[in-house]
Amino acid sequence: MEFIRLEGLSLKKQILNNIKKEVTENKYDIKLVTIQVGDNPASSIYIKNKISSCIYAGVKTLSLKFEEDTKESVIISKIQDLNNDKSVNGIMVQLPLPAHLNRNNIINAISESKDVDGITDTNLGKLVQGGNGFIPCTPKGIIRLLQHHNINFKPQSKVVIVGTSIIVGLPLSIMFKNMQLTVTTCNIFTTDIEKHIKTADLLVSAIGKRDVIKTEWLTKKQYVIDIGINRYNNKVVGDINFELAKKVVKGLTPTPGGAGPVTVACLVENTYLAFIRQNKLD
C-alpha cells in the first residue's frame, strides 16, 4: 500500500472556501474577537494565522491586546461586554496566559454560545455527553483530517494518544471513546510506551518533544497524527522523524502542514457555526 501524506492545507482551503461561499451569498456579517494578554511571540503568530484565515473566509475580526500585567477583573469585565455585544459571534482567548491570571476564571467568563474554542466547562461537558456544543479546534481538526483522507476506523480499532493536555489529548480521547474506539492515553510517566505504540492502529503524538517516539516503534498498519511543534536546526519539525517514519507507516501528517492548518480552519468554522446558531439559521 502506498504511503499517504496526511496533509491538511487542502482541507483547510476547502473548509474556508465553503464558509466564504455562504458568507458571500447570504451577506452574513460575522465577527470573531481574539484576546491576547502580553507579548508571547508564538501567541502573536498563532493569532495572526487565525485572523488571516478569518479574512480569507469573509469573517471579520477584532484583536484585543492587553498588557502583560493586566488584572483578571479587567479582562473578565471586557469578556462580559463582548458576551452582551450582539455584533460579536465568537470570542477566543489565546493561551497560555501570564501566570498571575486564573485560566479557568477567564475562559469560563466566555458565554457558552460564543466559546468557539470549545474549552469552557459547559462545552467540555457537552463533549463528554457526546452532545452538540463547540468542539475544541485541534481535536475537531484531527477527526476532520482523517475523514478527508478517507481513513475510517472500525469499532475494533485501537487508538493510542501520547500527551493528555486539556486542549488536545484529553478532549480527543473523549471523542474517540464516544466513537466506540478502544483508546489508550499515555503520558511522560508511562513506562511501556513502546508496547502501547506498537498496538496502535492510529497513533496521535501530542508531546511537543522530538524523538520520544522512536521510528523503530512504529508499524506498517498505523496511521500517525503528529501535532508536536518543535524547533530543530532552524526548522519546524514534529515529534516524529517524518522522513524515516514515512518508510514504515501507512500515513503520517507532515510538520508543518498537517493538523495545524485544519485547526485554524475549524476555529473559523466554529465562529461561523456560532453565528448560525445565534441567529437560529440552522
Task: Name the residue nearer to a copy of itself (CB basis): 69 or 121.
Answer: 121
Cβ count near 26 (within 10 Å): 9
96 prior amide bond cis, ω within 30: yes
What is the C-alpha separation between 130 and 199, in angstroms, rounded?
Answer: 26
Give the shortest CB-49-to-a copy of itself separation in angstroms: 26
Q: How far is the CB of 175 from a copy of itself (least distance, A)?
A: 11
Task: Please identify, using beta-carbon distances, which residue of 186 and 268 lies nearer to a copy of itself.
Answer: 186
On the 0-12 / 13-18 / 19+ scale of CB atoms within 10 A, 69 is exposed
Shortest Cβ 224–a copy of itself spacing (Å)? 19
CB of 45 to a copy of itself, least distance (A): 26
The verdict on whether 69 is a catalytic residue reads no
Opening angle at CA 228, ends 40 and 14, nearest 5: 90
Cell output for 196: 502501547
Q: Residue 146 or 162: which CB sits closer to a copy of itself?
A: 162
* Catalytic residue selected from 50, 114, 140, 250: 50
Q: Which of 115, 117, 226, 239 is catalytic?
A: 117
Catalytic entry in 94, 114, 226, 239: 94
Nearer to a copy of itself, 30 or 142 (CB): 142
Smallest gap from Cβ 178 to a copy of itself, in A, equals 8
CA distance 162 to 178: 18
Of the pair 180, 279, the CB lying nearest a copy of itself is at 180
Active site residue 246: no
Determine how many CB atoms are found less than 10 A away from the CB of residue 248.
Answer: 16
Query: Which positions touch a copy of itself (CB under 8 A)?
Result: 104, 120-131, 133, 154-156, 158, 164, 166, 170-171, 173-174, 177, 180, 182-187, 189-192, 195-196, 199
Catalytic annotation on 156?
A: no
User: What residues are labeled active site?
Assistant: 50, 94, 117
